[in-house]
């Protein structure tokens, strides 16, 4: 059997596995080190008890004749889809999102992979670079060759100079830079997509971190977006579901191919063929999560306060820090240092693991990403380490 040449072109490991390997090697060389990992963006706070109860009650009922259920609807339960539409899409005054436009999934990452199947190989994709590696790696696995990169940097105030592509991936709040697009910028994006007949793949996985009502949480807050955009959402960072797994996609009725066929119909075809719908247990948990939306905001506030603490400590040390205000990520740079140099610097000097910015794309070179996920105690310790200048090895390594 010949190896799939598209896979052979990828780096052997997904970005965060590569960092795990580096972390392991460092610990082998320095077994006394107490590393603080601020690399992968993974939630640390326990589930709300009400959510855990909903998951466990539904699981227990599955062992009874009355409570057992097998396959559900591939799009997800009507109850959850209605709840998402009512709770998360009330501000989309120009665009009403209805439950039949919402498809429940096992997470945003998996749905992005399924979106890629929708459009196939023979297309141009627009990547805002740096970006979540799934956009580029996922497309590369399918064999997409035409990639247009749009740099995102401090010089353009973290909004790219838009270039034409059939599909444009856009993430706000942005992973990895932590920047958030304004209403004016998203309006420009939607107009651009309309004029150029592009489709926007809008990743709103971090929308619940937006604390300013003037900043859009959904692309559908922008007039006309239903004609050009698909949106993905996630319970991972909103409700601590990174392990439970649950997300959704919105595929509007208005969105069609040039032949007029509704894209939504093809998306349904894909999920009914290669995905049988999300776990019914997780869906019950998600309904409770949406009913507890204000409680969830307390956890989000904690991660955002962590971001402030880290940002202050890093700024005091003289680094340039972007992001971290409506997002759990900080985008950190210093003079002419490369990503690898900065990554090694934080690892060796402070025993803090970050993510090298060049892992998110060529234009991420010169940066590292700090994640603000972690307990208050952990982040306080990281900030404390950063506040102390150590001449040689950190003295905290064996504590
Ligand atoms: C991140 O850290 O960027 C993501 O949350 C991890 C992932 O989904 O790959």
| 57-86 tens-digit pLDDT | 999 999 999 999 999 999 999 999 999 999
pLDDT, position 347: 97
Long-range own/partner contacts, residues 316-319 (CB < 8 A, 24 or more apart): 316/386, 316/387, 317/386, 317/387, 317/389
Give me ligand 1 centre to Cα 186, in Å.
23
pLDDT, position 342: 97
Percent of the chain residues past pLDDT 70, beyond the cut: 97
Q: Is the pLDDT of residue 395 over 70?
A: no
Report pLDDT digits (tens) over 213-254. 999 999 999 999 999 999 999 999 999 999 999 999 999 999
Atom of ligand 1 nearest to the CA of 108: 8
Backbone CA torsion sign across 340, 344, 350, 356? positive
Nearest CA to ligand 1 atom 4: 41
- For residues 159 and 92, which has the higher predicted lDDT (pLDDT)? 159
- pTM of the predicted model, to two decimals? 0.95
Pocket of ligand 1 (CB under 6 A): 16, 40-41, 109, 175
pLDDT, position 390: 58
Bridge partners of 103?
249
Q: How far apart are CA 384 and CA 393, in angstroms?
A: 15
pLDDT, position 398: 40
Nearest CA to ligand 1 atom 3: 41
Q: List the structure tokens of 111.
A: 């749905």
Write the DSSP symbol of residue 257.
-
Q: How far apart are CA 282 and CA 280, in angstroms?
A: 6
Q: List the structure tokens of 85.
A: 């539409």
Atom of ligand 1 nearest to the CA of 236: 5
Q: How far apart are CA 159 and CA 167, in angstroms?
A: 17
Q: Is the pLDDT of residue 194 over 50?
A: yes
Q: Is the pLDDT of residue 393 over 60?
A: no
Find, among 191, 218, 184, the residue nearest to 203 by Cα.
218
């Amino acid at each position: 059997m010949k190896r799939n040449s598209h896979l052979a072109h990828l780096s052997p490991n997904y970005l965060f596995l590569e960092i795990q390997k580096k972390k392991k090697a460092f610990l082998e060389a320095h077994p006394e080190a107490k590393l603080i990992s601020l690399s992968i963006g993974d939630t640390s706070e326990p589930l709300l008890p009400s959510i855990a109860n909903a998951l466990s009650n539904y699981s227990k009922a599955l062992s009874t004749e009355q409570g057992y259920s097998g396959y559900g609807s591939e799009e997800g339960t009507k109850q959850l889809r209605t709840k998402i539409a009512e709770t998360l899409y009330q501000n989309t005054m120009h665009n009403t999102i209805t439950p039949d436009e919402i498809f429940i999934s096992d997470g945003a990452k998996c749905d992005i992979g399924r979106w890629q199947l929708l459009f196939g190989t023979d297309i141009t994709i627009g990547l805002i670079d740096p970006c979540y590696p799934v956009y580029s790696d996922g497309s590369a696995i399918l064999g997409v060759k035409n990639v247009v990169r749009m740099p995102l940097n401090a010089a353009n105030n973290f909004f790219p100079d838009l270039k034409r592509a059939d599909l444009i991936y856009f993430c706000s709040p942005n992973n990895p830079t932590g920047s958030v697009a304004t209403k004016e910028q998203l309006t420009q994006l939607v107009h651009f997509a309309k004029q150029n007949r592009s489709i926007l793949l809008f990743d709103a996985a971090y929308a619940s971190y937006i604390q300013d009502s003037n900043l859009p949480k959904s692309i559908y807050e922008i007039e006309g977006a239903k004609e050009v955009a698909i949106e993905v959402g996630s319970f991972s960072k909103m409700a601590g579901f990174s392990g439970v797994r649950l997300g959704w996609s919105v595929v509007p009725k208005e969105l069609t191919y040039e032949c007029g066929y509704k894209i939504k119909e093809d998306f349904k075809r894909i999920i009914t063929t290669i995905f049988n719908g999300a776990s019914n247990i997780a869906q019950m948990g998600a309904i409770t999560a949406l009913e507890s939306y204000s409680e969830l905001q307390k956890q989000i506030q904690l991660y955002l306060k962590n971001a402030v603490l880290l940002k202050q400590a890093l700024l005091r040390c003289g680094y340039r820090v972007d992001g971290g205000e409506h997002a759990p990520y900080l985008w950190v740079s210093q003079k002419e240092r490369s990503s690898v140099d900065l990554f090694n610097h934080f690892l060796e000097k402070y025993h803090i693991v970050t993510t090298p910015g060049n892992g998110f794309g060529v234009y991420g070179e010169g940066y590292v990403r700090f994640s603000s996920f972690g307990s208050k105690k952990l982040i306080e310790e990281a900030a404390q380490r950063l506040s102390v200048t150590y001449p040689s090895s950190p003295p905290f390594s064996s504590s």
